[in-house]
Amino acid sequence: MNSQPKSVKDLKKFAHVMAIAFFVIGFLLFLKHHEIAKIFFGLVLIFEGCGLIYPEALRPVEAAWMKLAHMLGWFNTRVLLSILFYVILTPLRFMIWVMRKDLLAQKLERHSLSYWQPRAEDKFKPERYERLY
């Protein structure tokens, strides 16, 4: 996590982004005729006002917001990686095991003289060294 003190410019950006986010939420709630939309429009005014007049007032809010974002990122990473592992990789590994596939050619073949795998012969082309990837 970035622990450097935020500049006034960063705090102004934070205020502007939060105001836009609250405006979008408030506008969507306003379209659905919810009374709570007024609260979000009030937050827009507070954030834009603080961002324009005294951005330093937003320093603790920004710090708390970033701490929350860091915790959510930590949690979501674990959830997504767990889902990836248990929903995709484990069944895939089970299917490969059931089909007795050796995708990495790790089985030892006792009758083999060598484990060398011949490559297709390519004619030497100097251009190949110009673009390696």
State pLDDT tens for residues 109-130: 888 888 888 888 878 888 878 8
> Does 111 reside within a domain?
no
> Does 122 reside within a domain?
no
State pLDDT tens for residues 56-70: 999 999 999 999 999
Residue 132 has a pLDDT of 79
> Does 89 reside within a domain?
yes
> Does 56 reside within a domain?
yes
> Does 109 reside within a domain?
no
Handedness of CA 108, 112, 116, 118 (dihedral sign): negative
Range of the domain at 12: 8-101
> Does 52 reside within a domain?
yes
> Does 70 reside within a domain?
yes
Q: Based on the structure, what is the number of domains in the chain?
A: 1
* Alpha carbon distance 98, 28 (integer Å): 51
* Alpha carbon distance 20, 55 (integer Å): 16
